[in-house]
Chains A and B, each alone.
Chain A
Amino acid sequence: MAIVETPAVSENELGELWEDAPGLPGFFSTVDHKRIGMRYIYTCFFFFFLAGLMALVMRAQLAQPDAKVVGPQLFNELFTMHGVTMIFLFNTPVLAGFGNYLIPLQIGTRDMAFPRLNAFSYWVFLLGGIFMYSSFLFGMPDGGWFGSSPLVGKTFSPGLNIDFWGLGIVFTGLSTTVGSMNFIVTIFKLRAPGMSLNRMPIFVWSMLVFSFMAIFAVPAVTLATGLNELDRLFGTSFFVPALGGSALLYQHLFWFWGHPEVYILFVPATGMISQIVPAFSGRPLSGYLWVAGSLVTVGFISFGVWVHHMFATGMPAVAMAFFSGVSLIITLPSGVQFFAWIATMWKGRVRLTTPMLFAIGFLLIFLLGGITGVMVAVLPFDWQVTDSYFVVAHLHYVLNGAVVFPIFGAIYYWMPKMTGRMLNEKLGKLSFWVMFVGFNITFFPMHILGFLGMPRRIYTYDNGLGWAGLNAMVSIGSAIFGLGTAITLFNWIWSRRRGVAAGDDPWDADSLEWSTTSPPPHYNFAAIPLVASRHPLWDQRPLPFAESGDEPETSGLGIEGAIERETPVTSGIDTRPEGNLQIPHETYLPFVVALGLSVLFVGLLVQAVAVGAAGVALAVVAAWWWAWRTEEDLAPPDVEADAPVRDDVPAGAPAGAGPEPGDGAG
């Protein structure tokens, strides 16, 4: 296969072909995975800081015994919304955001497999978040983030607030599912020629596992909260013991998603670490296949441990012992990854940049979170510590320490690519140390509080119980931790304007996203890179780019593909070119469908048939239009040559108007 010489069009002209309309029309209609990815990240961090503020209010209340900062009702709403926000509106979607931004760049393609669905999943996420937070006006959900039947049933929680929670989870679950579908097909079908499965960056592996886990786990939470909503709104009795329902069924359904969810969050976080550690150790990741294998193994095993969240429900000991055993075994793949990182650093030359500091901080924190994770898998010990502050400590070591720290590391690592500017290293290191110290002051004492008998989710406690000193310490720590995150927020805003220009590859890293400009052009790669190594930027110097071939299958590889707004489709395992995928133009349809669905959910919430029907109608009409226009993009490869010549130049972006009508038969 020949290699490209000079492009036939200038990069400016190419850029114009791919550019969104300016202003609001472009904002609502873009399908560019990078814009959508950034949007995810910005939105998620908005929710992150919101949830953080809620945590600070809770800590102010708990700083001393019998405090009156907030009352019990507001406190219960705060810890519910804190959990809901962190799980459903920050951790899960922010990882999807990074996946959105990075996967097409890392696998060497020009966009996602379904760019419009990609926009759709963002809009659903955003509208879902707004939906949940609009409960602020009526009283926020107060059933705890995972709820518990019958507490979240109509009898004991008659208010609308629980419906905001239940319907909101169903709604945002849709976003996760659709996003995951998109990742799976993108990763399997759009990888650059030569990037066989065993050459994919570990982050791509981790997002693949994330997606498969989400595909199989999310239905469970959708059903847990969805069936609960049926009970609440339509009078069914799934979880009503008096009518043959079962309160425990709710817990089984919820945790069948809930535990995989922990790994859904954790796996991509380790994927980020597996990118950062080798980059700053200056050598390939140790045991690549071990690590990739660990991620896949974790994905499978995580579906067999949910019952360890229910050890106190009085199940037969034999059943619990089984789940206790599986919960111990799931430690092994994480141990393998851990020592792969250690070996990588041990044998490399470590550069202590900010991302690397966050990675090392992650290692030290996750080590403890992992150890306490093993402890709670031990059945009798779990009887003592479950639902106590010990578990609050454990879950924050895992979900805050071992997920949020890698995400902060990833911000420092990839922001130069996303914005073209470096974040300030001094502020970054300061932010890390403040966060690290604050984190441990906040969450370490919680282990001890658990031993001392403090249950989770209490809004106050007696002075005579001996919990006051440690609680005061925790509250001080939380303020320090909050300050640390604020430093990064400031750093981002400051560096956005004043940061040092990054250049293509500021870190001397190995994966494909560093081969294009920072920020990347709309089309990512004018010509698709040809991959012959697991570390293309280290081993293939200079990196070769493809040239379009004469066959229909290879016509999109070179710059001609970018001109045609195409990206090559390759075979799932060995990445042979199979044809081209037409990248759709900007469109409002994803937004309209998402809007229709949110109207439906509002209709369900207020039990107004007309509103619900209007929402369905809007969504169906828009989806129908979408499907009708779609034939062009679906053309299978083997007739590309026979297909009539198409005129793909857009008929002018409609400003404010609806989408342009379908272009009839091909």
Chain B
Amino acid sequence: MTAPTATVTPGVTRPATRRSYPTAWWGMAVVIMTEAMVFAILLASYLFLRAASKQWPLGDIEVPDLKFALPFSFVLWGSSLPIFWAEASIRNGHVGRMKTGLLISFVMGLSFFAFTLYDFNELHFGWRTNAYGSIYYTIVGLHALHVFLGLGINLVVQLKAWLGRYDRGRYASAEVFFLYWHFVDFVWLAVFPILFLSPHIR
């Protein structure tokens, strides 16, 4: 490399003033873009199959039951609130509060996951029954897989917190998880109305 000599490049290395997200957070943001696309395309496929069918749900399958689905959906969406709180807490260095927030969110997420399994168990059709069954199981199942994954990561983040690996300004992996969990909840905002509510409208 040739020895550099001075030239004036005014100001280019003046540091940024605002606190920024770590690169891993941006990485998760991009993962979410592609994951959102996966769900968007699946939901579009659902609507495509529905538009191509004379009857929906196909083959005299009953419309989704809302008795449990509705309250547990609110539980899932609500599980983002403790995450917001946890995020605000760790930003100010309160690791203890973050742990509490994570735990509350974990319990809420787990109860939703339990509901999904219960729901699958109650259904009178399988993914082999017909195309409705296939797309229903695929979308709800894929979302449940994301919830399950999120619960696993939640545990890892809690473990890291218990081991004292986080402190004020040092919580990048937690921040990545927060973003992911919000996404999991957000997806359900699209899935629930289309899969559970729209078949009630004829």
Interface residues in chain A, defined as those with a beta carbon under 8 Å from any beta carbon in chain B = 1-4, 6, 11, 113-114, 117, 177, 180-182, 184-185, 188-190, 193-194, 215-216, 218-220, 222-223, 227, 230-231, 234-238, 240, 243-246, 249, 252-253, 256, 504, 515-517, 525-527, 530-532, 540, 542-546, 549, 551, 553-554, 557, 569-571, 575-579, 581, 624, 627-628, 630-631, 633-639, 642-643, 664-666
Contact = CB atoms under 8 A, between A and B. Distances in A.
A279 B5 CA distance: 25
B74 to A, nearest CB: 28
A234 B127 CA distance: 9
A638 B21 CA distance: 10
A177 B49 contact: no
Contact of B27 (A6, A113, A244, A664): A113
B193 interface: no
Contacts of A245: 49, 130-131, 134
Interface string B1-27: 111111101011111110111111011
Contacts of A579: 20
Given A230-B134, A638-B19, A544 B58 contact: no
Interface stretch (B64-72, B160-168, B178-186): B160-168
A533 B138 CA distance: 51
Contacts of B173: 627, 630-631, 634
B31 interface: yes
23 contacts: A181-B27, A189-B26, A193-B13, A216-B33, A219-B34, A230-B138, A244-B53, A246-B131, A252-B48, A253-B45, A516-B1, A526-B1, A527-B4, A532-B9, A543-B4, A570-B16, A576-B15, A577-B14, A624-B156, A630-B24, A631-B173, A636-B21, A639-B167
Nearest to B19: A638
Contact of B131 (A238, A525, A557): A238
B42 A577 contact: no
B60 to A, nearest CB: 12
B33 A215 contact: yes
A238 B27 contact: no
B37 A216 contact: yes
Most buried by A among B6, B15, B175: B15
A635 B172 contact: yes
Contacts of B24: 114, 630, 633-634
Contacts of B33: 215-216
Interface string B120-137: 000000011111111101
A1 B27 contact: no
Given A4-B4, A526-B1, A569 B131 contact: no
Contacts of A666: 165, 170
Contact of B23 (A114, A545, A575): A114
Interface of B: 1-7, 9, 11-17, 19-24, 26-27, 30-31, 33-35, 37-38, 41-42, 45, 48-49, 52-53, 58-59, 127-135, 137-138, 156, 160, 163-165, 167-173, 175-176
Given A1-B13, A551-B15, A631-B173, A237 B130 contact: yes
A4 B6 CA distance: 8
A665 B167 CA distance: 10
B131 A639 contact: no
A185 B130 contact: no
B82 to A, nearest CB: 22
Nearest to A576: B16
A563 B30 CA distance: 30
Contacts of A4: 4
Contact of B41 (A230, A235, A256): A256
B165 A571 contact: no
Given A215-B30, A635-B172, A557 B13 contact: yes
Nearest to A516: B1
A439 to B, nearest CB: 35
A571 B3 CA distance: 28
Contacts of A578: 15-16, 20
Q: Which 9 A-B pairs have the closest CB atoms?
A: A634-B172, A639-B169, A576-B16, A236-B134, A244-B131, A553-B15, A194-B12, A1-B13, A245-B131
B13 A530 contact: yes
Given A3-B4, A223-B45, 15 more contacts: A11-B1, A117-B27, A181-B34, A194-B12, A216-B37, A256-B41, A532-B7, A546-B13, A569-B20, A576-B13, A578-B16, A624-B156, A631-B170, A665-B165, A666-B170
Contacts of A515: 1
Contacts of A113: 23, 26-27
A577 B41 contact: no
B34 A246 contact: no
Nearest to A190: B23
A631 B172 contact: yes
